[in-house]
Amino acid sequence: MTFLKEYNDFIEKEINAIDLPENPANLYNPLRYFLKLGGKRIRPALTLMAGKMFGVSVEKTKNAALAVEVFHNFTLIHDDIMDNAPLRRNQKTIHEEWNSNIAILAGDVLFVKSYELLGKNADKYLNDLFTIFSKTAREVCEGQQMDMDFETRESVQEADYIEMIRLKTSVLLGCALELGAILGDAKEEDRKNMYEFGIHLGIAFQIQDDILDLFGSPEKVGKQPGGDVICNKKTLLSITATDLAKTSEDQEKIQQLVKEIDLELKVNETRNLYTRLGVRKSCEDKKEFHYNQAIAALNQIPEEFSKYELMNLAHNLFDREY
Backbone angles phi, psi at 224, to 5 degrees: -60, 135
In angstroms, give the least distance from the CB of 197 to a second copy: 24
27 touches a second copy (CB under 8 A): yes
Whether 17 and 65 have beta carbons less than 8 Å apart is answered as no
Rounded least distance, CB 32 to a second copy, Å: 14
Distance (Å, rounded) from C-alpha 308 to C-alpha 9? Answer: 20
- 231 scored as a contact of a second copy (CB under 8 A): no
Task: Tell whether residue 155 is a contact of a second copy (CB under 8 A).
Answer: no
**Would you count residue 36 as binding a second copy (CB under 8 A)?**
no
Query: Which of 38, 55, 119, 218 touches a second copy (CB under 8 A)?
Result: 119
- Considering only residues 37 to 96 of the shown chain, the ones binding a second copy according to CB under 8 A are 78, 81-82
How many CA atoms are closer than 13 Å to the CA of 302, on its beta-carbon side?
7
Q: Find the part of the chain contacting a second copy (CB under 8 A) among 136-144, 194-202, 254-262, 292-300.
A: 136-144
Q: Give the angle 122-128-131 at the CA atoms, nearest 5°.
A: 125
Q: Please answer whether residues 283 and 210 qualify as being in contact, where contact means their C-beta atoms are separated by less than 8 angstroms.
A: yes
Q: How far is the CB of 30 from a second copy (least distance, A)?
A: 10
Least Å distance, CB 222 to a second copy, is 28
101 binding a second copy? (CB under 8 A):
yes
Q: Which stretch binds a second copy (CB under 8 A): 7-15, 18-26, 40-48, 169-177?
A: 18-26
CA distance 151 to 282: 23
| Residues 7, 288: Cα–Cα separation, whole Å | 27
Q: What 3-state DSSP class applies to 87?
A: strand
Residue 153 engages a second copy in binding (rule: CB under 8 A): no
Establish if 223 lies at the interface with a second copy (CB under 8 A): no
CA dihedral 222, 200, 118, 102 (to 10 degrees): -40
Q: Using the rule CB under 8 A, is 145 a contact of a second copy?
A: yes
Q: 180 near 61, Cβ under 8 Å?
A: yes
Instruction: Please report whether residue 105 would count as binding a second copy according to CB under 8 A.
Output: yes
Query: Collapsing DSSP states into helix, strand and coil, what is residue 88?
Result: strand
Environment class of 183 (CB within 10 Å of its CB; exposed 0-12, middle 13-18, buried 19+): buried
Which residue in 123, 219, 319, 321 binds a second copy (CB under 8 A)?
A: 123
Binding a second copy (rule: CB under 8 A), the pick from 38, 40, 89, 134 is 134
Residue 18 is a binding residue for a second copy (CB under 8 A): no
Using CB under 8 A, which of 85, 141, 212, 221 touches a second copy?
141
Tell me how many residues contact a second copy (CB under 8 A): 39
**Contact flags string 187-206 toward a second copy, x per CB under 8 A:** --------------------
CB crowding 114-140: b at 16 or more within 10 Å, else e: beebbeebeeebeebbeebbeebbebb
CA distance 92 to 179: 32
Considering the complex, what minimum distance in angstroms separates the CB of residue 271 from a second copy? 31
Residue 256 binds to a second copy (criterion: CB under 8 A): no
Tally Cβ neighbours within 10 Å of residue 81: 18
Contact residues for a second copy, defined by CB under 8 A: 21, 23-24, 26-27, 78, 81-82, 100-102, 104-105, 107-109, 111-113, 115-116, 119, 123-124, 126-127, 130-131, 134-135, 137-138, 141-142, 144-146, 148-149
